[in-house]
Structure 1
Amino acid sequence: MISQRTSRFLAGGILLALAATGCTTVSEAGTTQGNGAPAAGSGTALAVNEEARALLPAEIRDKGVLRIASDPTYPPFEFYDTDNKTIIGWDADMGDAIGAVLGLKVEHVPATFDTILPGLSSGKYDMGMSTFSVTDERRKVVDFVPYLQGGTGLAVAPGNPEGLTVEAATLCGKAIAAQKGTVQSLDILPVFSKECTESGKSAIDMQFFPTQNDANLALTSGRVAGVMADSVSLAYQGKLADGKFELAEGPDYEPELTGTALGKKSGLLPAVQAATVAVLESPTYGEINTKWELPASTEITPADVVLK
């Protein structure tokens, strides 16, 4: 998720339960709507940007709705509120903010992570906002509009008794989990495991789960020694889980841009780029980051929005 992108291949009470036990199920029955107003929890109203709105495809502008898919098992970016139905989080607020700038209502649609990009290509969703790392391989099938930057971290048991880090040498022979379809499962862990075997050590026991909650449950139940995912999300999830796991110390691994995914045939790219710039230039961007406890290091500038 920084401006230096890699070229590797694709790929309260209830909240505590979600992060620690993985009880969330993903179903489109949980569709929730934003009201096209300021981002939830934001004190700044976002006016419609008529120039950005004019860039919308006529079909979307006339329909008046953006259908945004997210995997609601990944706090603080997307997860269920205490009603176990309403999707909240950083991506939900950012999606509402983009919708407000474009003068559109937003429907937040729950989906499993590895089905979102295919759903964009088929036209099932208008946008995907689920903390997608911007990779060259993903860019072959969808367009991206960056909104944050960050990198990979490793969740471990409290106190990190095995001394694990996001380095291959410390993970050889260990059971390490990740969510299916993420860069951690498709790229980083396989590369690390190969480094282990090439150095004469045991391969990493890679275990991939359909949701982040499932991966976290494997850690808290002792079935795996660590979970690899976005570092900001893992730190936040550890807090929600009342310290049942924590982020291992050390720098993020290969920081890169993260952003909104769009179907290449959707025609939405210019409008979403313009709307994202408008949000980044407004106080709302900082307010959303503060609300969800994102460090300043994750913020990008308008210059990062249009990919080269």
Structure 2
Amino acid sequence: MSVPRRALVTAAAASVAALTLAACGSGATGASADLAPAKGSVAPNGVTVNLSPNQNRVTTPKVDAIAALVPEEIRKRGTLTVVDSLGTTPPLDFYANDDKTIIGVEPDLATLIGNVLGLKVEFTPVSWENIFVGLDSGKYDVGISNITVTEARKEKYDFSTYRLDILGFEAKKGSGLKVTGAADLAGKSVGVSSGTNQEKLLIAWSEENTKAGRKPIDIKYFQGTEFYLALSSGRIDAYVGPNPNLAFHVAQTGESEIVGTYSGGGADVQGKIATTTKKDNGLNQALNQALNEVIKNGAYGQVLKRWGLDNEAVPTSEINPPGLPKVNP
């Protein structure tokens, strides 16, 4: 992206303010919308979110036996280079109110992993496609950026899961819309971000509707916060994206609601979000055991709760589980 981060955050804040005023008289799996939380934001579970750079993150002790699994080159360096998205998807990964400190559930979990491995975590925010470019070149050790496990990606990368991948459908409050499958969106105007798994899902559902003699879905594309205004004004009936940041937006504005959720892995596979490393780079086993350590000692649960993502917790971290099939939307 060529737009300065300050401009993105300012524009996003203005969008939230506009939606809030309207209520008084609301991105990968990949790319998502920019959204700067309003002061005093609350997570979907009602917990007040700390937006300051002083995060007082949950921490956990180093575990020597797990740290010993880290490749020697990384151990000697003493740092774990984590590549993430551009800091525009609360509560996953976004900037604090100082516009420079990266906060969210992803940085918190990365920090816990670093604690267990005895490594200092260095965050590098880049555009979505450059996450994979950097992993391929070895520039970064691991991607922790709401990355869904897919069968295609498993050919190039290793995964250790840490959260369920749940897509959400957001609609204006009182719309009466309920989404459980393709038929519910027949003839509806639905927003989505291009190049994402949720776009593939909408295209497949639209084709399913056509084959069944129903109206197709009128798919509208958005790459930024403008979809919130489109939703508020009624120009689209719904928007589909990662459930965490849509639910976070709903909790802030009160003007919209989540009218359905769906697995990011499609109808046959429960989608899962995972740490992502270049295949066979030797780091995945350490990441997996570090995640299982913090799941077991409770630090993981504390992190998810502080960001309102309790319902997306996994009971254990899996290495390279079944992912989104190549033939599945």
**TM score, norm. by length of structure 1:** 0.78
Instruction: Supply the distance in 1 between the matched residues of 2:140 and 2:230 (Cα, whole angstroms).
Output: 31
Between the two proteins, the alignment pairs up a number of residues equal to 276
Say whether residues 1:227 and 2:242 are aligned partners: no
* Alignment match, 1:97: 112
* Alignment match, 2:204: 191
Q: Which runs of 5+ in 1 are unaligned?
A: 1-12, 26-38
Q: Percent same amino acid among aligned pairs?
A: 32
Alignment of 1:26-105 (within 5 A): 40-42=55-57, 45-71=59-85, 72-105=87-120
* Alignment match, 1:141: 156
* Alignment match, 1:110: 125
C-alpha spacing 1:274/1:246, structure 2 compared with 1 (3 Å): same
Instruction: Supply the distance in 2 between the matched residues of 1:99 and 1:51 (Cα, whole angstroms).
Output: 14
Deviations 1:121-158 (A, max 9, x none): 22232211122222222222221110112422201112
Counterpart residue type for residue 236 of structure 2: V
Match of 1:206 among 219, 222, 236: 219
Q: Secondary structure at the match of 2:60?
A: coil
Please state how far the C-alpha of 1:288 moved relative to its aligned partner.
Answer: 0.5
C-alpha spacing 1:70/1:180, structure 2 compared with 1 (3 Å): farther
Instruction: Supply the distance in 2 between the matched residues of 1:85 and 1:55 (Cα, whole angstroms).
Output: 32
Counterpart residue type for residue 202 of structure 1: K
Match of 2:182 among 168, 190, 210: 168
Instruction: Supply the distance in 2 between the matched residues of 1:47 and 1:68 (Cα, whole angstroms).
Output: 20
Q: Secondary structure at the match of 1:46?
A: coil
Counterpart residue type for residue 199 of structure 1: A
Counterpart residue type for residue 249 of structure 2: Q
Counterpart residue type for residue 291 of structure 1: R
Instruction: Supply the distance in 1 between the matched residues of 2:144 and 2:232 (Cα, whole angstroms).
Output: 27
Instruction: Supply the distance in 1 between the matched residues of 2:216 and 2:133 (Cα, whole angstroms).
Output: 31
* Alignment match, 2:258: 247
RMSD: 2.9
Counterpart residue type for residue 121 of structure 1: D
Q: Secondary structure at the match of 2:146?
A: strand
Q: Secondary structure at the match of 2:190?
A: strand
Please state how far the C-alpha of 1:269 moved relative to its aligned partner.
Answer: 0.8
* Alignment match, 1:4: none
Counterpart residue type for residue 64 of structure 1: G
